[in-house]
Amino acid sequence: MIDEDPHTSTEAAAADAGPSQPLPLAGVRVVEFSHMVMGPSCGMILADLGAEVIKVEPRGAGDKTRYLPGSGSGLFPAFNRNKLSVQLDIAEAADREVALTLIDSADVLLENFRVGKMESMGYGYGELAARNPRLIYASLKGFLPGPYGQRTALDEVVQMLGGLAFMTGPPGQPLRAGASVNDIMGGMFGVIGILSALRVREQTGRGQLVNSALFENNAFLVGTHMAQAQLSEEPLRPMPTRRATWAVYDIFLDRDGSQVFVAAVSDGQWRDLCDEFGLTDLAEDPALEHNQGRVDQRERIHAELQAALSRLSLAEIEEKCTRRGLPVAPVNTPADLTSDPHLVASGALAATGLPDGESVDIPLLPLTFDGQRLGLRRNVPAPGEHNAVYRDGNSGTPPDIPDVDLGEERTQSQ
């Protein structure tokens, strides 16, 4: 993946990976001009993979995403670990040469500003590629080129426009998904594009323009529903009222009123469910031997299964289902995940330090390489924390920052 003439960051980035092997993107320099979610998530994945990701923020307070209230307060902590921060007012002549020098040294430029903004400041792909033909310019937008290309987009905008909100909420009540799914997945597609362009550059020696977009990502997400609409004579139903595929694939209540999802999606699982929860009458009914018969009598099955579950605690339901290989899950909130026994025991959470001295538990990438996770190497940087290297000294040499300890006390909350 890595071309010849690696940057001076190679040894430092490789050391971060430990003695066994270098990180996958060690030696790749990324200059990130981004805010909010889509661009920063793309940059963070590259940083986790070992790239030297230099986040360019405005002078002063830095990226405004740092200071969002409410549900936006977790955006900056979640998507800016393992990065370095330099402050430049790239629209000002005084900082232009510093910015261009930094871009000239880069393998990848990443940006997710509104359409035309980078070009208006003299940082369009054509101009920068003329200076640095090896540059991979990743532009993450709301829409790929087309009739909607100039529109302003947000995750919620494309969820409404792209049918995802229709499928998520109950009839007549379109509802955005409970996470920024298009922003994050669009950032992931940006990573895929960048990695592909790096591979092509190994063969051609030249970079290229890579585009990823929210709306087209949303269309990709609802592709199965698009196919269903074309193949079925029935109109699409939102997920809360969709036509049942299996009789048992729903949320039930335990004896204390706690919610638990239970499913049985095969004939074998149906028999195990009946056996485990004492549903003798259902098990012996020949009309329920196969899936369609069970779907036809879904209400009857639900009533008897709910009666059985109402006598048990949540822990007992989980134990019984798990023992028989039946799908089961309590209905958790995201707050519950910081103490989830699987995430904690497997080292999936990183106690990530913030500039104000606080720390938050954030999931690492859901990947392992030879059984090892890509861990936390640097906490979320303060605004302009690395100005001395990338702006004031402009040495092009990455800062000598002690790596974050990857011991148990740093990878999960106690």
Strands 359-363 and 349-353: antiparallel
Give whole-number Cα distances, 187 to 20, 118, 150, 402, in Å: 29, 18, 20, 28
CA–CA distance, 332 with 335 (Å, rounded to integer) = 8
CA–CA distance, 49 with 374 (Å, rounded to integer) = 7
Q: Tell me, yes or no, if 296 is annotated catalytic.
A: no
Other CB atoms within a 10 A radius of the CB of residue 66 amount to 19
Other CB atoms within a 10 A radius of the CB of residue 155 amount to 25
Give whole-number Cα distances, 293 to 13, 284, 341, in Å: 58, 13, 38
Contact 314/256 with Cβ under 8 angstroms? yes
CA–CA distance, 390 with 394 (Å, rounded to integer) = 4
DSSP 8-state assignment for residue 389: I
Other CB atoms within a 10 A radius of the CB of residue 331 amount to 11
CA end-to-end span of the chain = 38
User: What does the chain come to in residues?
Assistant: 414
Place of tokens 């999936």: 348
- Residue 304 tokens, joined: 């008897």
Place of tokens 């028999």: 271
**From 48, 63, 95, 183, the catalytic residue:** 183
- Residue 406, classified by CB atoms within 10 Å of its CB into exposed (0-12), middle (13-18) or buried (19+), is middle
Contact 138/212 with Cβ under 8 angstroms? yes
Contact 82/377 with Cβ under 8 angstroms? yes
Other CB atoms within a 10 A radius of the CB of residue 59 amount to 15
Contact 317/309 with Cβ under 8 angstroms? yes
Handedness of CA 408, 410, 411, 414 (dihedral sign): positive
Q: How many CA atoms lie within 13 A of 303 on its CB side?
A: 5
Other CB atoms within a 10 A radius of the CB of residue 274 amount to 23
- Residue 186 tokens, joined: 């669009």
Q: Annotated catalytic sites, by residue?
A: 183
